[in-house]
Amino acid sequence: MKIRGDDPVAMKNFILCVQNRVNELKALSGDGEAKINGKRMEFMLETICDIKNNKKKPKEDTVQHTRIKKWLQKLRVEDILIRGLKWSKLLDPDKKGQWWLPGDIASATDNVEEVANSIDKEALEAQKMLELAAAQRMNTDARRAIFCVIMSGEDYIDAFEKLLRLDLPGKQDRDIMRVLVECCLQEKVFNKYYTVLAAKLCEYEKNHKFTLQYCLWDHFKELDSMPLLRSMHLAKFMAEMVASFTLSLAVLKTVEWSDPQMLSPKKIMHFRMLFEAIFEYPDKVIWNMFTRIAVTPELETLRQGMDFFIKEYVVKTNKKVNDKFKLAKKALNNTEGVLM
C-alpha cells in the first residue's frame, strides 16, 4: 500500500503488466484458467489484486514495521544508499555472499584468492592506521578508534556518521574534539577537512562546542613551547571556526591582552596570525564576527584588549589590513548588534 501511495502511476502500469501476463497464461492453457504453480504465486497474485482495489488485509500488522522504523531511527539511520549496484546483480537468483556491495569483493566471490587478498589488504591498512595512532600518542582504545575514523573518512560526512556510530560511553565522546584538533595540528599542510568536520559535530551536539572551547584554552597555555607550524595551524583552525560562526571571538576571553608580561613573543606571533587570517574574509563576515561580541557588556575587557592588540601588533606590521581593522573596530562599537 505504501508503494501504491508513493507512485500510483508506476504501480498501475505494473499491475497491468501482471494482468496481461496472467491473461496470456490463460490463453495458452486453453481452458481459461491460468496455471499457477505454488502457494507463493497464488499469494502474490492475490496481494496484487488487493493493492489494485485498495483493499487492506485485516491481518496486516503495521506495529512491527513501526517498531523497526523506530529502532532504525535510534541507530541514526536516515537513508540507505546502494552504490554501483546493477539490475543484473539485483535480479540474479544465485546471489552469493555480500552481493549488495560494489567492487571486486562482491562481484568475484567465487575467486577465493582474490577475496582473501582483499581482506588481507584491508587488515594491513587497519594495522598501519593503528600504528599511526600509537605514534600520535593516542593512548586509549577510544582515542585510537576516533583517530582511525577521522583519518580514514572518505569525506567529512562519512567521518561524521562513523563517529556517531562509535557510541562512546560516558564522557569518552569528549575525546572526539581533542583528537580532531590534534590531527589538524599534526598536518604538514593546513587541511580544512578538520574545520568542516568540527563545525558539523558542533552543529549536531552542543557539548562538542564546549569541549572545543576548553581544548583551545588548553592549547593557549602551550603557545610558548609550541612549534611555529603547529601554532599557525591552530590560528587558521580558530579563524575558520569563528568565521563559520561555530564559535565566537569570545573564545579569546581567557587571553591576558593588557598584561605585557603574559604576551610573550610566541603568543604575539600566534594571535597576529589569527587576526591576519580573520581579516582575509569578506567584509560582511568580519563585521558579523566582531558584532557578535559587541552586544555583551561582560566582554568589554575583551573588546578593549583586542582593539589594543590589533592596533599595536597587527596593523603596525601589516598595513594592508588597516581597512579591515577600521571595519572591525566599528563593529566592536555596534552595540545594537545589527548584522550585515
| Per-residue pLDDT, 35 | 60
Q: What confidence tens digit (pLDDT) does each residue in 214-240 have?
A: 999 999 999 999 999 999 999 999 999
Q: State how far the Cα of 139 lies from the Cα of 320, in Å rounded to an integer.
A: 45
Task: Please state the rounded mean pLDDT for residues 62-69.
Answer: 65
| Per-residue pLDDT, 14 | 81
Residue 299 host element (H or E): none
Q: State how far the Cα of 163 lies from the Cα of 156, in Å rounded to an integer.
A: 10
94 vs 339, residue with greater confidence: 339
Q: What confidence tens digit (pLDDT) does each residue in 155-208 have?
A: 899 889 888 888 787 788 888 999 999 999 989 999 999 999 999 999 988 899
| Per-residue pLDDT, 96 | 62
pTM above 0.85, yes or no: no
16 vs 284, residue with greater confidence: 284
Delimit the domains of the chain by residue range: 2-60, 248-340
Of 334, 316, 230, 336, the C-alpha closest to 275 is: 316
The answer to whether residue 85 scores a pLDDT higher than 70 is no
Whether the CB-CB separation of 235 and 277 falls below 8 Å is answered with yes
| Per-residue pLDDT, 71 | 65
Whether the CB-CB separation of 318 and 276 falls below 8 Å is answered with yes
Q: State how far the Cα of 150 lies from the Cα of 159, in Å rounded to an integer.
A: 6
Of 294, 307, 194, 315, the C-alpha closest to 248 is: 294
Whether the CB-CB separation of 190 and 232 falls below 8 Å is answered with yes
Task: Please state the rounded mean pLDDT for residues 82-86.
Answer: 60
Whether the CB-CB separation of 250 and 296 falls below 8 Å is answered with yes
Q: How confident is the model at residue 17 (pLDDT cuts 50, 70, 90)?
A: confident
